[in-house]
Structures are given as structure tokens and as C-alpha cells.
Structure 1
Amino acid sequence: MVKHTPNPTEPLSFLKEFTQARIALGSTGSSIPTKPSLEFKLAHAHARDAVYSVMDTEALADELEQFHLPVLQLHSRATSREQYLQRPDLGRLLDELSVNRLADQLENDGIVLILGDGLSATAINQNALDLLKLLMPKLQSAKLKLAPLCLVEQARVAIADGIAAELGASLSVILIGERPGLSAADSMGAYLTYMPRPGLTDDSRNCISNIRPEGLPVAQAADKLFYLIQESLSRKLSGVALKDNEGLLPNE
């Protein structure tokens, strides 16, 4: 967290050390000073840019080859960004070409890892590979079976259910760009679902959110995700039934 010099005219300014929220901005007459006003407008512009950012599928596909797994490039039924934003339901479904591409794969009862642009492709472009470089060795060392890696454009979280069902995967993990806020346009989420299938609701998933350099570091996110994957496979469940007890103090 960035250190801030206390402002004697603003008694709450010390709280800026603990949050990126817009607090203790000061005042100029009945308005806020020029600098925080311009910073707000810039953050708003970054958030809008993130929503319309594009996932660099070619570069990501090339980088994913280091994991020695097939890489499938898929697409939802949303044909444009405008349609994606207006019709969330289409972002949860695969288009026909993608369904056929998955049908050509051998069924795999292991884990399918998916990268989806979501509401901030910027988050995926900047954070996904760093997380996978830490997570994949853990999965491989644990000798867990892995399905082809999937890149999905115009994706919503639930599209992972259809992908996993087509591949016969027992567990899905989708890394996806989260809705950008005015202090975080590059935030990535990871959603884990055991025995995924179309029609599941969000209570069936576990989520790790705010993965980014100024939020949850990728190293901690990779450790947390690996823990949840192991627990999910061991206990054969996910979502509200799977409690994250890692790091809790032992009972005395």
C-alpha cells in the first residue's frame, strides 16, 4: 500500500494508507480540488477502456504452449462486444464452431483451465500467464490430469460449464476479467466448479477475486487456487459447501 503524508487539514487522510478508495479528497468551496477530480475522470476512462479491451489470443496461445497441452481457441455466441454487454446470456454459451471443436477432442475427466476475457481482457493479458506459471507446476507435481487449455472470447463465467461438459472434465477453473472499478481496471477472478454442467448457478462455484499486482498477488492466488482444487477433488464438491479453511488458526 502506498504511503501517504498526513494532511493536517483533512483528519481522515491517514486512512489512505489502507485503501485505494477515494476518501479524504479535500474540498475547494463546494467542490473537490482539481487533482482528485481529474484522477476520477482518468480512472473512469481506464475502466471504460478495460471493458472494451481485446484479449491477445495469439500471444496468449503462443505462451500457453510452454505447458505442453493442446490449446483451443473458442468463442461465445456473442458476436460483438456490444452484443456481449447487452446479452449476458449469449456470453454463457459456446457458438457452434466452438462446440464442434470441443467435440473433436477426446473426453478428459480431469481439470480444464480456461482463460476468458470477461469484462476486462486487460486483466487476462496482464495477469493470467503469471498465475499459470505458478499454478501449472503444482498441478503437474500432484499428477493431476489436465484437459486442453481453452481461450474464450466474449466469455461469461458460466461458459466454463459448457466447455467442461463437452470435454467430460470433472473440474473447471476459469480465469476471467472482472468488472473494472474506479480503482482497479486490471482485476482478474478465478472461478472453480466441481462437476460443472450447464444450468449451474453461482452458489456452485468458489471464487478468488481481485488478482492483480495492487490486489491479491498472483503467488498467493496460485497457492489458494491449488488448495481449493485439491479440496474440491478430495471432497467432491465446490461452492458454498466447500469452505476455505486454509490459513485458519488450529483449535486449541
Structure 2
Amino acid sequence: MTRAPAAPPLKSLAALTQARVALGRAGAGQPTRAAQAFALDHARAREAVWSAMECDTLERALQDVRTIRLHSAAADRAEYLRRPDLGRRLGPGAAAALAGAGGADVAIVVADGLSATAVNLNAAPVVRALLARLAQTRLTAGPVILAEQARVALGDAAATALGARAVVVLIGERPGLSSADSLGAYVTWAPAPGTPDSRRNCVSNIRDGGLPPDAAAAQIAALLSDMRRTGQSGVALKDLVARAPEIE
């Protein structure tokens, strides 16, 4: 009888992941090093939640790209965290500023979300890579919107004001205890206020140690191409691709 292969030692697994495995123990508790590492990662996650988006730095990194700054209806970070609904709405004057920005196929929104740290580190390379890929397609991109105290759904209102056919929201993901700098991209076709999350496609874990910016931009551009071809996004797009592999 053939024996099943032995399970890999925990130390081998620990080398393949940032998850907390093979921490060891000290009596009935964790070793001091593991406890201190947990406290440090927890502090980094809290700092990411309260961090501010560095709009000046982002604009310098995108100096040859037109940008528009705007704010959600949340007055400050504390209100943003208490009132998610305000983070989904444009602040005063934002819709009028966008309406005069000219039409485009794709609206690109950079939003702080729950980790401006992720945006400050990763957003500019993703935007540059995505604009380069869109330039090779028939999809035009509007000005890059830098949105403070913003959540994903704010992109729907911004795209509507721009008259865009699709929106890409690059947003700081909720920090975890293994990464506080993960950027997410939410892509929606035919966005409008009230769009449900089931109509969005997400590319996540964009960061050093996760999905590189160029690879993320390639996935986003491929999604936009499929959306233009099918007129669908989210669950409906996945169902279409599952039924017709030639769409891919």
C-alpha cells in the first residue's frame, strides 16, 4: 500500500506566506518576538486607516496627466469612518467641476478608502501602466480624479458627472495584519448612483509582495475590453465568460 506523502513542515509553509503560521510558543503563550510582531502590524493597520492621501506627491508622480481633486461629503476622517454613506457621495461643487471636464470612455478615480498608505505607495504606477494600455485600445480616459475621504461607490457619481461609460476606482483596501498597503481596483461598466456591488469586478492585493502594478493594469484593461464587448460587468460578466470562453 502506497503511503500518502508527508505534510510539509510548518517552517516550509511559513516561508511561502505572510500569514501567521509556525510562530512557536513560550509555555502556554506566544514567543515575545511573535507578540511584538503582532503589535507592530496592528499599529501599522491603525496608522493606515487614519493616514492621509498625499495628493501633492501623486500629482508630481502624474505630472503629465491631468488631475482633478475633489472631496466626498464627509467633512473629515472621523466623520468618514463613522458615516460610510457620506464617503459614497460627492462633496459640494464636485459634480459641477467634473461636468466641465469633458467626456471620456473611462473615469479613473484614485480614492483613499481605508488605507491611504496603499494609495500613496501604489496608485501612481498603476495609473501610468493603465493609461499606457488604454492608449492601445479604442477606450479614452478622462482626467484622473483624486478623491479624499472616498469609498468605492463615489466613483459611480464621478463617472456619471463625467459622462463616462466605465469607472475604475483605485482604492486603499481595509488593512489586514499581514499587509496594510494593499490597493484594490473596482471596475464597473455603465456606472450610476445606486449601482450594486454585484455589478463590479475587483482586482485586489496590488502591492509589493502581491500583484505588481503592470500585471494589475493588464487585468483591468482586459476587464474593460470584455465589458465594452459585452456591455456587462460584475456577476453578469463572469456568467457570460463562463458560458462563452471565446469572450476571454
- Please give the TM-score of this superposition, normalised by the length of structure 1: 0.89
Is 1:128 the counterpart of 2:123? The answer is yes
Query: Paired residue for 1:140?
Result: 135
Q: 2:193 aligns with which of 194, 198, 210?
A: 198
Query: Paired residue for 1:229?
Result: 224
- Equivalent residues of 2:62, 2:128 under 8 A apart: no
1:132 shift after superposition: 1.8
Query: Paired residue for 2:99?
Result: 103
1:53 shift after superposition: 0.8
Query: Identity of aligned pairs, percent?
Result: 46
Deviations 1:53-110 (A, max 9, x none): 111111212332323xx3110100111111101100000000112122123333x141
- SS of 1:27's partner is coil
Number of residue equivalences = 236
Q: Distance in 1 between matches of 2:163 and 2:21?
A: 49
Q: 1:75 aligns with which of 58, 71, 78?
A: 71
Q: Distance in 1 between matches of 2:225 and 2:100?
A: 29
Q: Distance in 2 between matches of 1:153 and 1:89?
A: 14
Query: Paired residue for 1:52?
Result: 50
- SS of 2:204's partner is strand
- SS of 1:243's partner is helix
1:133 shift after superposition: 2.1
Q: 1:176 aligns with which of 168, 171, 174?
A: 171
1:19 shift after superposition: 1.6
Q: Distance in 2 between matches of 1:173 and 1:196?
A: 10
Query: Paired residue for 2:3?
Result: none
Query: Paired residue for 1:241?
Result: 236
Query: Paired residue for 1:153?
Result: 148
Q: Distance in 1 between matches of 2:166 and 2:139?
A: 11
Q: Distance in 1 between matches of 2:9 and 2:206?
A: 31
Q: 2:85 aligns with which of 77, 89, 100?
A: 89
- Please give the TM-score of this superposition, normalised by the length of structure 2: 0.90
Q: Distance in 2 between matches of 1:35 and 1:41?
A: 10
Is 1:214 the counterpart of 2:209? The answer is yes
Q: Distance in 2 between matches of 1:137 and 1:218?
A: 12
Q: Which runs of 5+ in 1 are unaligned?
A: 1-9
Q: Distance in 2 between matches of 1:213 and 1:168?
A: 34
Q: Which runs of 5+ in 2 are unaligned?
A: 1-7
Query: Paired residue for 1:23?
Result: 21
Bigger mean CA offset, 187-196 vs 129-138: 129-138
| Matched AA of 1:188 | L
1:11 shift after superposition: 4.5
| Matched AA of 2:67 | V
Deviations 1:195-240 (A, max 9, x none): 0000011001000011001111112111111111111111111000
Q: Distance in 1 between matches of 2:197 and 2:112?
A: 18
Is 1:119 the counterpart of 2:117? The answer is no
Q: Distance in 2 between matches of 1:11 and 1:26?
A: 13
- Equivalent residues of 2:133, 2:221 under 8 A apart: yes
Q: Distance in 2 between matches of 1:110 and 1:233?
A: 10
Q: Structure 2 vs 1, CA of residues 186 and 73 (structure 1 numbering), >3 Å: closer, same or farther?
A: same
Query: Paired residue for 1:5?
Result: none
Aligned-residue RMSD, C-alpha: 1.9
Query: Paired residue for 1:64?
Result: 62
Q: Which structure 1 residue ranges, 4+ long, deviate > 6 Å from structure 2?
A: none
Q: Distance in 1 between matches of 2:145 and 2:95?
A: 12
